[in-house]
Structure 1
Amino acid sequence: MTTHTPDNPAIERLEAALEAITAAGAEGSRIFTRLYADSARAQAHAADQRAGAGKALGPLDGRIVSIKDLFDVAGETTTAGSKLLQGCAPADRDAPVVSRLRAAGAVIIGKTNMTEFAFSGVGINPHYGTPGNALDSTRIPGGSSSGAAVSVARGMAEIAIGTDTGGSVRIPSALNGLVGFKPTQARVPRDGAYPLSYTLDSIGPLCRSVADAASADSVLAGLAHQPLVPREVRGLRLGVPRGLLFSQADEAVLAAVEQAVGKLLGAGASVSNEAFDDLLGEPFRLQARGSLTAVEAAWIHREGVKSRPDAYDPIVLGRIRSGQALDAASYVGIQQARAALMGALDARMTRLDALVLPTLPLLAPRIDEVQNDDEFLCINARLLRNPSVFNFFDLPALSLPLPRQGGLAVGLMLVGRRGADRELLALGAAVEGVLSGT
């Protein structure tokens, strides 16, 4: 974890980040849609003065933070990765999460690129360009928080703030070798964040360590920062939901996950195989004719789809239009069934500290593999499958990086009990230590 001290000044780390963006050339503009170099320098100098006076505001004071291009910043138009919104009125105030970051002393370096309207897990953007994966620029970055992940993985920010509706924090984190945290939805206010799904949207950090995720979580949730309660892996009750969420997986992914499970067993965790498919398969069955996300996006975009369909990414437009086909009764039925299923999984989880499974069943595909619409939609469905389940059930979920497979990243997902976000982060820090050998 990067620390901000008088011997490690924010201004020096900021200048290094800005230099990395400049050195990236055109790729830098595919990662960031807007830079705040001047205001960031002022914020960094102020943080350094506080550090020198021993008056730091907390663990994010002086940390270099990027924000996804769907958060309102006062005086700016929020474009959400689209061309459609470019002419809209500027925001009259910062989103609450942006205000909280500023109050905590974060140095906000810029806004990061994203999938248009956050509606895919691939990370492609035909309007502003697609940032390449930080580990192999010929491969997809993952989405929808694509620039967020790449900004951290390439040293252009220390922490990124993204949104996660079906995996949009955890997918790019897993593909770029980062930690990504999706909180219980109500933990972080979503005002001032351009919506995709009222039911499923959540806001969380992408970073290099669980400690950074915990620091960001405190600020985003508006809570006084408290260090995580130390946990040990020994004695943890971990469930492995074998079945659907382990199916159709790359061998390299399965090998990395099994190796991680073996390390946790060796460290004294109690690991059990769990038959949860009767619950974890229900989101797919219930949404076979139309998803909650698509239906709610169809409502959000009803005017734009009608008046300016040509302004949309055609794939995003098609996914939004698919939500127009589901009738109101079916939508209500999904919501009612979801409420009952959430309680059922909560009850099943009471005897476990966390679930352990692959964040994604595949390694990062090449960008040229998603140029065809059918291939794009197939890969997108595979990317979203595992993480989206836990948006549906509104459980906190943490993706941790595993040792690289042929130079590409693999993520291990830990899923906790609803509302037990800090407990999951503490557990994740313990697991992180075992997996990294520290």
Structure 2
Amino acid sequence: MKLVCCFAHQIATWATQQSLTIIACDSMLSDLHTTRQRLRTGQTQATSEIERAIQAAQSPACQHAFVQTTFDEARAIANTPGIQTKPLAGLAVSIKDLFDVAGQTTCAGSVVLKDNPPAEQDSPAVARLRRAGAAFMGRTHMVEFAFSGVGTNPHFGTPVNPCSTDVPRIPGGSSSGAGVSVATGAAFIGLGSDTGGSIRIPAALNGIVGFKSTARLVPTQGALPLSTTLDTVCAMTRSVRDAMLAHELLAQRQVTRSSAPLAAYRLAVARTLMQDELDDTVSRAWQRTLATLRRAGAQVEEVNLTEIGQLQSIQAAGSLAAAESYVWHRQLLERNAAAYDPRVASRIQRGASMSAYDYITLLRERQRWISQMASALQGFDAVLSPTVPIVAPPMAELAPGLARDAAFLRVNALLLRNPSVVNMLDGCALSLPCQTADELPVGLMVWAGALRDDTVLNIALQIERILQK
């Protein structure tokens, strides 16, 4: 009951402050590339940009997006001589509360770890962004232990989707604060993770860009694990070209740019599962986007891709996330289960019923399935699908409580359904917005198999240009 009351109070407080109208989620926000150009030409200063980001972070639209802020550190970085010559030029970056930052305690959205000692060093992802000139704004809110696509957290308050114009809506998760920080202007890059959609879901629901790279390309050390097999370190941005830069910095590799037009690529659209249960807004945006791309010369072909339908039976005995998270959490749960978000604890505890046979079989079946998918997609450069089948639902419909648990589980499953296909594929994917100005955000997902990252990024860049005309 206490969690329900806290959640209801949060919604009421937010609604009062905002009068159910949001001034953020502004499509006119400059991306990082544009801002760096303005820095080079003297039209702005890194210190001025940091003050704008701090103002956004302190606004009602960004409430609960950060669990810890480091504004003074960000100001100091922005004021460093020569900072604008670095790739990130002293501009604002947020860090999901999953990553080690030297001198800070990594809590992963939980109270269970609050007494842990501070990290002795930065995680590789944080260190790479720091060397590139990032001005870190602070640690962002997340679903406890990254185990949900909805974005709620009963311990620290849940950030509200800044694109809502009627009622408070969910931000999507698990990288919820990261998404809100980018959508409101509090950060140009939101560092996060993606195990089953945790970057692409909030990107889709908040009207921004989220790129999930091939998992092996960015080290996961120094990030609290959910699934050691599926976890991917990646980021949200305001544009595809910013996503390219963020990926290059995190993966320490150069993306091969292509000037080929969209018509040069062969794109598949999966009939199986990924177009099911689309709500009216997503369906309208999806069909309109496909028509726009075809008019622009895109080769878009519907394919059955029935292999996607096998995933439910492959995971019938349990998921990789359940099995692998239970290994990490078992002793913590035995000592302190009452301190967990019950919805998170129940998902982790499902791993307890999986046998070694179940787990090894799942790994083997996954590899067989990846091979089948590769054969089915041979000749295609990428696949298009809705990132998620629904727009962000109202928060009140998913508030904690037994009466709403069924609704929560249904929404969580819908949000994870399409993105998680790519994680099981060991693939890469980018979500970019495809809604019109009068619609709630809708994400278009461009995806492919492992190590096709550059192709996905180049195709997404072409699509973004077409949709923005």
TM over 0.5: yes
Letter of the 2:465 counterpart: G
> Partners of 1:110 and 1:294 in 2: how far apart?
29
Q: Which residue in the other structure is 1:101 paired with? A: 129
Residue 12 of structure 1 aligns to a residue in which SS?
A: helix
> Partners of 1:63 and 1:347 in 2: how far apart?
43
User: CA 1:79–1:251 in 2, change beyond 3 Å: closer, same or farther?
Assistant: same
Q: Which residue in the other structure is 1:415 paired with? A: 447
> Partners of 1:269 and 1:43 in 2: how far apart?
44
The one of 303, 327, 332 aligned to 2:360: 332
The one of 429, 454, 460 aligned to 1:397: 429
Is the 8 Å Cα contact of residues 230 and 430 (structure 1) preserved in structure 2? no
Is the 8 Å Cα contact of residues 346 and 418 (structure 1) preserved in structure 2? no
Residues matched between the structures, number: 427
Unaligned runs of 5+ in 1: none
Q: Which residue in the other structure is 1:112 paired with? A: 140
Q: Which residue in the other structure is 2:23 paired with? A: none
Letter of the 2:407 counterpart: E
The one of 232, 251, 254 aligned to 2:261: 232
Q: Which residue in the other structure is 1:45 paired with? A: 79
The Cα of 1:228 is off from its aligned counterpart by 2.8
Q: Which residue in the other structure is 1:250 paired with? A: 279
Q: Which residue in the other structure is 1:219 paired with? A: 249
Q: Which residue in the other structure is 1:132 paired with? A: 160
C-alpha RMSD of matched pairs (Å): 1.4
- Structure 1 segment 242-391 matched on structure 2, within 5 A: 242-277=271-306, 279-371=307-399, 372-391=404-423
Residue identity (%): 43
Is the 8 Å Cα contact of residues 353 and 417 (structure 1) preserved in structure 2? no
After superposition, the C-alpha distances for 1:296-334 in whole angstroms (9 at most, x for unaligned) are 111110011101001100100111111111111011101
User: CA 1:231–1:66 in 2, change beyond 3 Å: closer, same or farther?
Assistant: farther
Which of 260-269 and 163-172 deviates more? 260-269
Q: How high is the TM-score relative to the length of structure 1? A: 0.95
The Cα of 1:220 is off from its aligned counterpart by 0.2
Q: Which residue in the other structure is 1:30 paired with? A: 64
Is the 8 Å Cα contact of residues 100 and 222 (structure 2) preserved in structure 1? yes
Is the 8 Å Cα contact of residues 132 and 140 (structure 1) preserved in structure 2? yes
Letter of the 2:274 counterpart: L
Q: Which residue in the other structure is 2:19 paired with? A: none
Residue 388 of structure 1 aligns to a residue in which SS?
A: helix
Residue 64 of structure 2 aligns to a residue in which SS?
A: helix
The Cα of 1:406 is off from its aligned counterpart by 5.1
Residue 30 of structure 1 aligns to a residue in which SS?
A: coil
Moved over 6 A (4+): none
Is the 8 Å Cα contact of residues 235 and 246 (structure 2) preserved in structure 1? yes
> Partners of 1:404 and 1:7 in 2: how far apart?
30
The one of 186, 203, 206 aligned to 1:173: 203
The Cα of 1:77 is off from its aligned counterpart by 1.0
Letter of the 1:84 counterpart: V
Letter of the 1:344 counterpart: Q
User: CA 1:422–1:226 in 2, change beyond 3 Å: closer, same or farther?
Assistant: closer
Q: Which residue in the other structure is 2:6 paired with? A: none
Residue 67 of structure 1 aligns to a residue in which SS?
A: strand
> Partners of 2:49 and 2:360 in 1: how far apart?
50
The Cα of 1:286 is off from its aligned counterpart by 1.2
Is the 8 Å Cα contact of residues 63 and 160 (structure 2) preserved in structure 1? no
Letter of the 1:254 counterpart: S
The Cα of 1:226 is off from its aligned counterpart by 5.4
Is the 8 Å Cα contact of residues 255 and 454 (structure 2) preserved in structure 1? no
Which of 403-412 and 333-342 deviates more? 403-412
Q: Which residue in the other structure is 1:20 paired with? A: 56
